[in-house]
Structures are given as C-alpha cells and as structure tokens.
A and B are shown apart, each in its own frame.
Chain A
Amino acid sequence: MKVVSKRVLAVLVIVALSLTIIGCAGAEEGADSGEKTYKIAMVANASIADGGWNSACYDGMIGAAELNGWETSYSENVEQTDYVATFTEYGNLGYDLVFAPGNEFSDAVKEAAASYPDTNFIVLNGEVVEENVESIMADNTMIGFLAGTLAGLKTQTNEVALIGGMEITPAMQSIDGFEQGVAYVNPDANVSVAFTNSWSDAAKGKEAALSLIDTKDCDVFFGISSAGDAGMREALADYDDRWTIAQPSDLLDQFPDITLTSIMNDNAQLIGNSMKAVMNGEFGNKVFLGGLTENVLAIGEFGESANDVKDEYMEIVEGIRDGSITFDYNV
C-alpha cells in the first residue's frame, strides 16, 4: 500500500517539475531573429483538407507564399467562439498578414484588427475595410454566370442543376449568377438547386445528384458543396449523357469523361495581390473583386464532351471579359 502512494507521489512530483520547466521553456520562445521574413497565416473553421473551399484557399495561400517568399502557418477547425482569440494570437505573434477565408470571420477580424494595427488582415468574400483590413473576393456571381452559360448551352434535357452545401453568401451569389447565365443562353432551360446541408458529407452529394436526375432529368451539374461535389461526380460517372462543370481548380485530368470544363478560381493571385500591397506599404481600405480581367478567374481545359459548344461558349467568355455581356449583382 505504501508503495502505491509513494509511486503516485513520485509521478506527481515529476509532472509538476516538468510543467515548471515547460513553462520556462515556452516563455523563452517568441523572440524573433533579425532578418525580415514576411509571415502569413490562414484561419479556417473546418479542416484545411476538406477537398473543397478551405483546400482551395489553403492551396492559394501556399502558392502565393511560394511566389513571394513568405512563411505560412494555419489554424484549422477553429470554433466560432475562438475566432477572435485566434486572430489576436497571430497579431500577438507579429504576423504580417492574416487570411480569413470567409465573410463569417468579419466581426472577429474587425475586433482583432483594432487591437493589432501592425498586423494586416484580408477577408475573403467580406465587406469589411479598415486601415489594416482589406476584403478580397473572387467574383462569385461571375463564377455562377460562367458555369450557367455553359450549362445552358450544353443541356439536352433543358434541365440543369446546382448542388450547394449550405446557404452561405458565396453560394447564394453563385446560384444567382448561375440562374442568370442559364437564362441568358437558354431561356427554356430550368434550374434546380439542392443542398446537402454539409461541407463534409460526400455521400449526400451523390444522393443529391441522383435525386436531381430522377426527379428532373437534369443533365448538366455545377457543384459548390465541397466534399459533396466528389459524390456528385461519382454519381455522374455512371452515365454517358450527364456532365459537370468543375470548380475551383482544373479537374479535367481526374474526371475526363464527365467534365465539360473547369471554372478555375486562382486564390493565389488574389492573395498574392494583398501580399504585394503589404510589402509595398499600400495595404488597407480596399475591396478587391477579382474576375476574368483580374486573372483571378480562368476557364480550364475543355473535355471532349464539350466539343459541340466550346466555340460558342468561348465567345460568351470573351464577351464577359470585354464587357459586352453583363449580368446583375442581386445578392
């Protein structure tokens, strides 16, 4: 019996000692070395490997950092209650730029930016602007419009579909653009929308696609549901006459049979812009909307299934680029 309590005591002492040492060791950290390396961090409220939104943002940050010689860091699965804490922590650690990939971070960024004037913040899809805050966004309505026109041109059944994850602002903007795009080229075509109510449930994306096929005979699909898009593509792969328009990167190589083309969203360009602004001391008080002309959006390679509509579609793309074709920003 004595032995037991002695052992417990010994463990307690060891742990207490090590905690003390740990505390000291931690305190020594934090002081930085001489030369200036710029640092950027991304804060995600889901996994950065979600195969969709956050992946695309993370890739963009890494790409931009490599190009501009920055160091990167990230925080993922950050809960809503911890947004402010996470942003301020990066401010505390002296980061030059903090990347918030979504409008939902706006409040937290505003609060953190006020306490850390030396740290700059970019909010993707946001509206906030301050001395040290810029909002940047890919033109989601244009993304939707680009996908919608191709879908409208290609559809044989006059039924096209969009699969969303949840009703967030970029999704609603894309849907709005998609509907306008379809109507622009093919007023007879009908748009159906289904939500998977998840960003991670790939299986639900498959079921949603199959249900759109069964109920409406939809034949061209545009997916903006992150992991759900993977399920959607698996559903379409079983058919010869159903296609998808991929986003946000070029997926033709991976799914050559069903991909018409990809609407590529170059987040690296978007973030790289802000990095340059930080380095030149021009950062702040701006909203930057990136579309085709800003090289933030681009059309990927075409699959063979798009051969019949490719030329007509590229004319429309050029029309959007030179401003002869316009659409409305309703959302």
Chain B
Amino acid sequence: MMDTVFSVQFLGSLLQSTLRVTTPLLLVALGELYGERAGMINIGLDGIMTFGATVGFIVGYITVNPLMGLVAGSLAGVLINMIYAYSTISLRSGQIINGMALNILAPALSVFMFRQYFGVTTKLIQGTVLASVYIPVLSDIPILGPLLFRQNPITYLAFVLAILTAIFFNKTKPGLDYRAVGEFPRAAETLGIHVTKMKYIATGMCGLLAGLGGAYLSTCYMGTYSEGVVAGRGFIALSAVIFGGWRVRGLVLATLLFGFTDAVQLRFQTILPVIPYQILAMLPYLATIGALFLMHNSGLAPKANGLPYSREDH
C-alpha cells in the first residue's frame, strides 16, 4: 500500500484530480469574494450555479459549442442574481434570506426550463465538452507536465482570474475604492464613489463567476447534465471565502485544500476499504473546520459586510 501512495504516478494523478475539483470551487469563490468585498454576502451560490449549469448545458447543446454554453451560463448567473441585487441593494432587504430564496428559485426554474426544452427525458443527454489543452513536449514532463500543461482552459482561466483579482484588490486604485464600499460605504460615498452602482457591479460579478462555475460542470467537467449536478458546491465555495479570510491567497488555498482532501478521500476508499466510505467522505468537511480552527483569522471581514446601505439615513 505504501508503494502505491508514494509512487510518482499516484501523486501526479492526485494533484490532477485536485485541480479538477478545485476549478469550479475557485471560480465561484472568486465570485463571492467580489460580492463580499462590496458588502454583499450571497448564500444563493448553489442556486446560481445550478442555473448557470442548466442554461450553459442547454445553449452548449443547441449551438454544439461549449464556449457558447459557458458564456450563456455566466450571463444567466448575472441575470438571476439581479433578483437578489434589486431586493437587497435597492429595497435593502436581508441578504441571507434573499440568498436562500435563490437556492429554492433557481433549481426550480432550472428543472422547469430543462423539461420544457427536452421534455421529461429519462436518458442522459450528451452534449459537447470543452477539450483540455494539450501542449506537446512540455506536457510530457513527469508530474509537472500534465499538471501545468494539460488542463482544461477554464482551469487556467480560474487561476489567472485569481491572480488578476489579487492585483486588482491590492494594487490598483479602483480595487481600493471597491474595497472601501465593503468597509466604509459612507466614507466611500463622500469620496465620490457611487456605492449603489458599485454594489450592483459586485453582484453582477458574483453572478457571472458563479454562473461560469456552474456551466463549467456541465460543459467542461462533464458532457451530461443531471438535476442536482451542483451537489452543494456553492456552500463549499462560500465557506472558502470566509475560510480564506476574504483574501485571494487564502481563498485559493482553501479551495485547493477542499479539492485535495476530496481527491484523497476517494483514493482512500480503494486503498483502505475497511473504513466505511461515509466516514472518509467527511474528510473534506472536517479538514475545513479543522483548518479554520487552527488559522482562526477573524476580524478581516469587510466591516459593512451583509449590511444594507442607503445614502439618506443614519
């Protein structure tokens, strides 16, 4: 058994699997970061992802072009998140409850749409998948080759976006302005920042990336769509943002930790069949709580996170 665990091939495939599991989580977590940095907590990520996955799959199927599916899925995410945006920003109602409403509404709409289009089918419908990039020579290097040069384009996109996001929030003037909206909205307003507009943009970004993450599941990861394909990934992405201390670096590590432990538990199921799989499947959740406990970096949350904002009242 030890030979298996320490073999180069085992390690390589474990890391590959980690990247595949991490990609959608990272995209969605980045979306939530854009939201929360402007003070918008959205626990409706699961719903947005489902909507993105459904619309993405249907459009990808019709156009026979997974890229179109990804674009449509992202836009669908923006669209459905505008319900949340209007209700929480303009009407200033509670963010948590609106997020929950999305989690009920979006999957129901998805089922409705999918069945209107495909009818009640009992066969899985097969769509086209966005193929992985394959860079010759470089991708043949052991471990690092497949890991760095043989991935899905969206995986590259997710990590590039993470880097750009980090630069945006930490090094640019608009990024600092953006953060001010989540920290001190009133002060930001006096500095000439249009807080309400920024919040709408933030919610749009959140919907865009969460929709993209969902569409990735049904157009890149898999070529089929089944109801319930998102399977709680939105909540994991949500916890990654908080776990990562609202910083890109932390968030990347958090999603990688989850992806890694999930890949590990699947492998342990075959290496250690004596342990019931239900116990092994707890690993990613327990590891996340454990890591949270050890790091316990609270106090970094945007100060006005989750609060409604209006210019007029005090």
Contact = CB atoms under 8 A, between A and B. Distances in A.
Given A192-B270, A204-B231, A211 B17 contact: yes
Contact of A210 (B17, B226, B277): B17
Contacts, number: 119
Contact of A49 (B14, B115, B231): B115
Contact count band on B: 35 or more
Contact of B271 (A54, A197, A198, A215): A215
Given A198-B231, A214-B10, A214-B14, A51 B224 contact: yes
A188 B277 CA distance: 25
B105 interface: no
Residue of A161, A192, A227, A231 with highest tally of chain B CB at under 10 A: A227
Given A206-B222, A211-B270, A214-B267, A56 B14 contact: no
A137 interface: no
Given A206-B221, A214-B10, A234-B222, A197 B277 contact: yes
B122 A56 contact: yes
Nearest to B13: A214
A207 B266 contact: yes
A230 interface: yes
Contact of B222 (A55, A231, A254): A231
Contacts of A211: 13, 17, 263, 266-267, 269-270
Nearest to A202: B222
Contact of A200 (B120, B227, B262, B271): B227
Contacts of B277: 167, 194-195, 197
A227 B124 contact: yes
B299 interface: no
Given A200-B226, A201-B228, A214-B10, A49 B221 contact: no
Contacts of B129: 234
A58 B126 CA distance: 20
A230 B17 contact: no
A207 B278 contact: no
Contacts of A213: 13
Nearest to B225: A202
A129 interface: no
B228 A214 contact: no
Contacts of B122: 48-49, 51, 54-56, 58-59
B229 A212 contact: no
B227 A230 contact: no
B267 A49 contact: no
A216 interface: yes
B147 interface: no
B255 to A, nearest CB: 15
Contacts of A316: none
A305 to B, nearest CB: 20
Interface in B220-251: 221-224, 226-229, 231
Contact of B273 (A47, A192, A210): A192
Interface in A169-196: 192-195
Interface in A43-72: 46-51, 54-56, 58-59
A230 B124 contact: yes
Contacts of B121: 49
Interface of A: 46-51, 54-56, 58-59, 161, 167, 192-195, 197-204, 206-208, 210-216, 226-227, 230-231, 234, 254
- Pairs of residues from A and B, 5 with the lowest C-beta to C-beta distance, nearest first: A200-B228, A55-B122, A51-B124, A214-B13, A227-B226
Interface of B: 4, 9-10, 13-14, 16-17, 20-21, 111, 115, 120-124, 126, 129, 217, 221-224, 226-229, 231, 262-263, 266-267, 269-271, 273, 277-278, 281
Given A49-B227, A211-B267, 6 more contacts: A51-B226, A194-B277, A200-B228, A230-B124, A230-B226, A231-B222
